[in-house]
Structure formats: structure tokens, C-alpha cells
């Protein structure tokens, strides 16, 4: 949370602040699941949040529709890196980085230990959800009245960073102050890391795939989000050690010492897993001299306008492709792809708009 949420910062910083550091075992007790909710896990992938915080993140994700557990988790990663003792140079405190003068407005004794402290993880997580949900409620009213405009989540995140007054002053979340403009995109880029592809289902790498083939392709590939790119890496069973590219970018980035996927290794793996290895594609995107995946007879040519999640998109001029990605679907109105981008990067979900201007070919193997 940016350290300018209150207009009276200069005055408030003159007031001594008592830091209550309370880390009794009660701080990490399981929350009562008394919030109802629209999914048992609030969309959170299992195993990606520190286990002592996971039940609270799930509960926070049920506070209101529009603020999911993955949003809460992504915010915490950006704010404190999951460090409950974090204190910023400006004085922001705890997992969720509340300023002392902001905390009382949202403070909650979430675990009933008698103290509401920004340093107590359950309190911080639930106060964060309270801030986000109250902000979302107000933003929707102000959008309806025409006072502001913009994406709901962008508004909430921008307000968390620089204050709701900052959003009002700018008529929405388009704020250029050297910090806020990058805050929402950073958090939104992390949401897939924490998102389960099943409402309440397992998101772990060993989780059972379920549903139609297209969905299984995405589930299988998404198991490896954050896995290093390794040139030549990946087969039908998972990531493998990279190979040399003869002194190019792969060698410069040490791909021969990494275990991971390259772009076609990831699509090969996803489809093989989704079809119980009935379809194992070649480990090459394809060009005019090597058919590769692009020209594999088992794939159907699909127009870009008709693409669906689970389709593969190949990129390159005149059929000489250099990259392939799995179409993931839309997030906040944007087409997204799941892919292994390049040496030095990791398996991730990215906007398809990053390939604007490239020739694109869609193939469906399901």
C-alpha cells in the first residue's frame, strides 16, 4: 500500500505509533468458515500460499464477489512478499502493508485473540479484504453516477496504492505518479499464479485433470507456471533439461543447466497429458521445410476470430513459425495466452496483444 493514503500524513506522523507484535499460536488458527461464499476455495490454487496463511486468504476471497482469493494473494506478494514482520521505509506494516493512520478504519480482530494488529496475519488479510470490498462497493456507485470510470479491479488496486481520493481526483485508475501506474498491472500479472482452474479443485502439479480435452490442455500446462524456459526442454511427461543452441540466447542464459520447457515443449506436454498420450506432437513449431506442429495432420485450422481456450496459436511470417502458445481465454476483456516465452523467462500467462503485428495461425487438436 502506497504511503500516501491519508491527506493528513504530515500531522499523523507526529503521533507516536505503538507497534503491537503478536505472534501467538492463535494467530494462525483455522478461521471459521462462516462467510458462505461462491466456491469452497474461492478460486485459490492449492500449495502456492504459505500454509499458515492459506485458510485466511480463502476466507478473505469470500468477503465479496469481485475480490477473489487470488487477488488477495497477489496483492500480498507485491506488498510484503509474505513477510508478516514487514515494515516499509515509510512505516507501512505487516503482510498487507497498512499505514498506522489507515489501519484503524479497517482493523479487525479476525482470529479473536483480543488484539487487532496489522502485524497479525489473519487480521491483516481480513482487513485487506475489507478495504478492497468497501472500495469496490464505492467504486461501483461512483461509476454508476459518472463520477469515475474504468475497470473495477484497476480502481480497487489503484486506491489501495494511493488512496481513493487519488482515484477520484483522476476520474479513475489512470494515475501517473511514478508508482501507481505499474501497481495494478503487476498484481494482475500475478493473479494466474494463484488461480485454480477449477472452482475448489486442485491446482497442484499432481492434480487430476478433468473435463474436456481443451480444458485439460490448459490445466496440464498451468501446472508448470513459473517453471524456467529451457530451449529444447519438455516432453510428454513434463519438463526436461534444455539443450545448446550453438552459442545463441539459450546458451547465454544457461538453458543447458535448466530443467523446463520451451514453447513447443509446453504445447507438446499439454496435449499429450490431455489425451493420455494419444496425441504426441513433434517438438518443433513448424515451417516450410519442417512440418512440425503447425502442419500436423491431427490439427484443424481455425480462424483467429473463432479461437477457443485450449487452441494453439503459432506465430511467424509466411508459415515460418518461431513461437507457439496456448490460448487461455479472456481476462478483464483481454485475450490471454499460456506459454513459455523465451530464454531467461518462465512459463507464464501473458496478453496476446504482445504479438500484435505477427502473423498468427490457430490450430485445434481436440
The C-alpha cell that represents 220 in the structure block = 496440464
Query: For 203-222, how does the pLDDT look when each residue is reduced to its tens digit (9 = 90+)?
Result: 345 557 888 999 999 999 98
Flag the least confident range among 9-13, 166-170, 283-287, 304-308: 9-13
The C-alpha cell that represents 62 in the structure block = 469470500
Q: Has residue 24 got a pLDDT over 90? A: no
User: Any idea which fold 213-364 has?
Assistant: endopeptidase fold (from Nostoc punctiforme) (3.90.1720)
What percent of the chain is modeled with pLDDT above 70? 85
Task: Concatenate the DSSP letters of all residues of 169-204 into one string.
Answer: HHTSS---SSSHHHHHHHHHHHHHHHB-SSTT---S
Query: For 115-151, how does the pLDDT look when each residue is reduced to its tens digit (9 = 90+)?
Result: 999 999 999 999 999 999 999 999 999 999 999 999 8
CA distance 332 to 55: 26
Q: Residue 116 in contact with residue 123, Cβ under 8 Å?
A: yes
What percent of the chain is modeled with pLDDT above 90? 70
Residue where the block lists cell 498487507? 96
pTM, two decimals, is 0.52
Helix axes of 180-194 and 69-80: crossing angle, nearest 10 degrees: 130
Of the candidates 354, 319, 321, the one whose C-alpha atom is nearest the C-alpha of residue 337 is 354
The C-alpha cell that represents 136 in the structure block = 469496490
SS (H, E, C) 253-295: CCHHHCEEECHHHHHHHHHHHHCCCCCCCCCCCCCCCCCCCCC
> pLDDT band at 12, cuts 50/70/90?
very low
H/E element, 323: strand 323-331
Of the candidates 256, 272, 137, the one whose C-alpha atom is nearest the C-alpha of residue 213 is 272
CA distance 76 to 97: 8
Q: Has residue 252 got a pLDDT over 50? A: yes
CB atoms within 10 A of CB 89: 6
As annotated, the residues of the chain forming the CATH 3.90.1720.10 domain(s) are 213-364
Q: Could you give the C-alpha distances from 306 to 196, 259, 313, 357, 363, in angstroms and in order?
A: 25, 35, 12, 19, 11
Q: Does domain 9-194 correspond to CATH entry 1.10.760.10?
A: no
Average pLDDT over the chain reads 85
Q: For position 298, what pLDDT does the model report? A: 97
Q: Are strands 259-260 and 240-241 parallel, antiparallel or unpaired?
A: antiparallel
CA distance 210 to 203: 11
325 has which bridge partners? 313
The C-alpha cell that represents 217 in the structure block = 490442455
Give the mean pLDDT of 311-338: 94
Q: For position 193, what pLDDT does the model report? A: 83
As annotated, the residues of the chain forming the CATH 1.10.530.10 domain(s) are 9-194
Q: Has residue 33 got a pLDDT over 70? A: no
Of the candidates 308, 333, 316, the one whose C-alpha atom is nearest the C-alpha of residue 217 is 308
Amino acid at each position: 500500500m502506497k504511503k500516501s493514503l491519508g491527506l493528513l500524513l504530515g500531522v499523523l506522523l507526529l503521533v507516536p505509533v505503538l507497534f503491537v507484535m503478536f505472534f501467538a499460536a492463535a494467530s494462525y488458527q483455522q478461521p471459521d468458515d462462516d462467510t458462505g461464499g461462491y466456491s469452497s476455495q474461492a478460486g485459490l490454487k492449492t500449495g502456492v500460499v504459505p500454509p499458515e496463511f492459506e485458510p485466511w486468504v480463502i476466507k478473505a476471497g469470500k468477503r465479496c464477489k469481485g475480490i477473489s482469493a487470488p487477488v488477495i494473494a497477489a496483492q500480498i506478494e507485491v506488498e510484503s512478499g509474505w513477510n508478516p514482520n514487514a515494515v516499509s521505509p515509510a512505516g507501512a506494516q505487516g503482510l498487507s502493508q497498512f499505514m498506522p493512520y489507515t489501519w484503524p478504519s479497517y482493523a479487525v480482530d479476525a482470529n479473536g485473540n483480543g488484539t487487532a494488529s496489522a502485524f497479525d496475519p489473519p487480521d491483516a488479510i481480513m482487513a485487506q479484504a475489507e478495504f478492497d470490498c468497501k472500495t469496490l462497493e464505492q467504486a461501483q456507485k461512483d461509476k454508476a453516477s459518472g463520477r469515475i470510470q474504468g475497470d473495477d479491479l484497476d480502481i480497487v488496486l489503484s486506491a489501495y496504492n494511493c488512496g481513493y481520493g487519488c482515484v477520484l481526483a483522476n476520474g479513475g485508475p489512470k494515475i501517473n505518479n511514478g508508482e501507481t501506474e505499474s501497481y495494478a498491472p503487476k498484481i494482475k500479472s500475478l493473479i494466474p499464479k494463484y488461480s485454480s482452474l477449477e472452482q475448489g479443485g486442485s491446482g497442484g502439479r499432481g492434480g487430476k485433470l478433468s473435463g474436456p480435452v481443451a480444458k485439460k490442455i490448459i490445466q496440464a500446462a498451468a501446472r508448470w507456471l513459473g517453471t524456467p524456459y529451457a530451449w529444447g526442454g519438455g516432453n510428454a511427461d513434463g519438463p526436461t533439461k534444455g539443450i545448446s543452441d550453438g552459442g545463441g540466447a539459450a546458451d547465454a542464459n544457461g538453458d543447458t543447466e535448466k530443467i523446463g520447457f520451451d514453447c513447443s515443449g509446453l504445447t507438446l506436454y499439454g496435449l499429450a497429458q490431455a489425451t493420455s498420450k494419444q496425441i504426441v506432437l513433434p517438438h518443433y513449431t513448424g515451417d516450410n521445410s519442417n512440418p512440425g506442429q503447425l502442419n500436423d495432420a491431427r490439427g484443424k485450422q481455425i480462424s483467429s476470430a473463432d479461437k477457443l481456450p485450449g487452441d494453439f496459436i503459432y506465430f511467424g511470417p509466411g508459415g515460418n513459425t518461431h513461437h507457439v502458445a496456448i490460448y487461455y481465454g479472456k481476462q478483464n476483456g483481454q485475450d490471454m495466452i499460456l506459454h513459455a516465452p523465451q530464454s531467461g523467462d518462465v512459463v507464464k500467462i501473458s496478453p496476446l496483444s504482445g504479438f500484435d503485428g505477427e502473423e498468427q495461425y490457430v490450430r485445434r487438436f481436440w
